[in-house]
């Protein structure tokens, strides 16, 4: 029987995912606090300073843009923290020798939906920023969605494979 034993690859992967998960969780919480602070604490005018040589130009940045950026960063980091949480749960079932656990099917579906939402939200956000601040960011094209879309589709196909694996395992347990 395989397991999460000290020194095993599964143990190493679980530890690495755990560290990254907690780092993302802390970063997400920090961004949320910054969002709340920026929303409710009156601040003076905020500006972005661009320097070229000895001279600098200050460009005013509206609070709404900063809140939009903080909200997007929060969603992005939080989404990937959720993905890592589900991956860690799947690694733990692998560690106890039960990779086709029925819960892994729903975990994979949650990962797929989270990746789809983060990808779509990022694409929409980049388009919004490119239209709000002309010239600051090149608007993404539909071609930019090809690779992430295939990744999401692969995750949903894997969920189907895991569902079939769980069904076969259940049938073999009933066979005497």
DSSP 46: -
Q: Determine the straight-line distance between the first and last CA of the chain, rounded to whole angstroms.
A: 21
Q: Is 138 helix (H, G, I), strand (E, B) or coil?
A: coil
Give the residue-averaged pLDDT of 105-125. 92
Lowest mean pLDDT across 2-11, 46-55, 84-93: 2-11
Residue-level pLDDT at 78: 94
What pLDDT was estimated at residue 51? 65
Q: Which stretches within the chain are classed as H helix?
A: 9-40, 63-95, 102-132, 146-174
Q: 111 or 48, which is more confident?
A: 111
Around Cβ 114, how many Cβ atoms within 10 Å? 20
- pTM reported for the whole predicted model: 0.77
In the beta sheet, which residues pair with residue 51?
Answer: 56
pLDDT tens by residue, 127-156: 887 777 766 667 788 888 899 999 999 999
- Decide if 88 contacts 18 (C-beta within 8 A): yes
């Amino acid at each position: 029987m395989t397991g999460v034993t000290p020194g095993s690859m599964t143990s190493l992967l679980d530890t690495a995912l755990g560290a990254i998960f907690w780092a993302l969780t802390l970063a997400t919480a920090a961004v949320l606090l910054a969002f709340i602070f920026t929303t409710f604490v009156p601040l003076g005018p905020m500006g972005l300073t661009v320097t070229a040589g000895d001279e600098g130009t200050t460009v005013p940045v509206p609070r709404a843009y900063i809140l939009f950026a903080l909200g997007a960063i929060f969603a992005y980091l939080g989404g990937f923290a959720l993905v890592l949480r589900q991956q860690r749960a799947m690694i733990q079932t692998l560690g106890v020798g039960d990779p086709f656990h029925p819960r892994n099917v729903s975990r994979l579906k949650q990962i797929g939906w989270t990746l789809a939402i983060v990808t779509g939200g990022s694409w929409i956000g980049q388009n919004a920023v490119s239209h709000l601040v002309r010239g600051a960011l090149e608007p993404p094209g539909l071609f930019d969605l090809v690779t992430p879309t295939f990744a999401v589709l692969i995750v949903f196909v894997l969920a189907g494979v895991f569902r079939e694996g769980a069904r076969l395992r259940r049938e073999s347990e009933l066979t005497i």
